[in-house]
Amino acid sequence: MEIWQKSLKQSLTGAAELAERFGIDPAPLQGVIERYPMRITPHYLGLIEKVGDPIWRQCVPDPAELDENEMADDPLNEENLAPSPAIVHRYPDRVLLLASGSCAVYCRFCTRKRKVGCAAMNLSFGEVMAGIDYIAATPQIKDVILSGGDPLLLPDILLKEILERLRRIPHVEILRIGSRVPVTLPERITEGLCALLRRFSPFYLNTHFNHPRELTPEAAEACGRLADAGVVLGNQTVLLRGVNDDPATMEALLRGLLRLRVRPYYLHHMDLARGTGHFRTRIETGIALLEALRGSLSGMAIPHYVIDTPGGRGKIPIVPAYLEELGDSALLRTPGGERIAFPNAL
- Residue ranges for the known binding site for [4Fe-4S] cluster are 103, 107, 110
103 noted as active-site residue? yes
315 noted as active-site residue? yes
265 noted as active-site residue? no
313 noted as active-site residue? no
The b/e string for 263-293 (b: 16+ C-beta within 10 A; e otherwise) is: bbbbbbbbbbbbbbbbbbbeeeebebbbbbb
114 noted as active-site residue? no
Q: Helix, strand, or coil here: 49? A: coil
Active-site entry in 91, 118, 255, 263 = 91
**Positions of E strands within the chain:** 87-91, 94-98, 143-147, 174-178, 203-207, 232-238, 263-268, 304-309, 314-317, 323-326, 329-333, 339-343
Active-site entry in 39, 57, 108, 112 = 112
Active-site entry in 245, 265, 271, 305 = 271
Q: Does residue 212 have a cis peptide bond before it, meaning omega lies within 30 degrees of 0?
A: no
CA distances, 317 to each of 127, 267, 308 (Å): 33, 10, 9
59 noted as active-site residue? no
Q: List strands edge to edge, sheet with 339-343.
A: 323-326, 329-333, 339-343
**CA-wise closest residue to 113 among 87, 145, 80, 148:** 148
Q: Is residue 153 within 8 Å of residue 193, measured between CB atoms?
A: no
Which residues fall in the annotated binding site? Answer: 103, 107, 110
Q: Within the chain, how many helices (H) and strands (E) appear?
A: 12, 12
DSSP letter string, 218-274: HHHHHHHHHHHTT-EEEEEEE--TTTT-SHHHHHHHHHHHHHTT-EEEEEEPPP-BT
Active-site entry in 53, 90, 118, 198 = 90
β-bridge pairing 339-343 and 94-98: unpaired
β-bridge pairing 143-147 and 94-98: parallel
Active-site entry in 165, 263, 315, 333 = 315
110 noted as active-site residue? yes
Active-site entry in 107, 113, 265, 274 = 107
Give catalytic residues, as residue numbers: 90-91, 94, 103, 107, 110, 112, 271, 308, 315
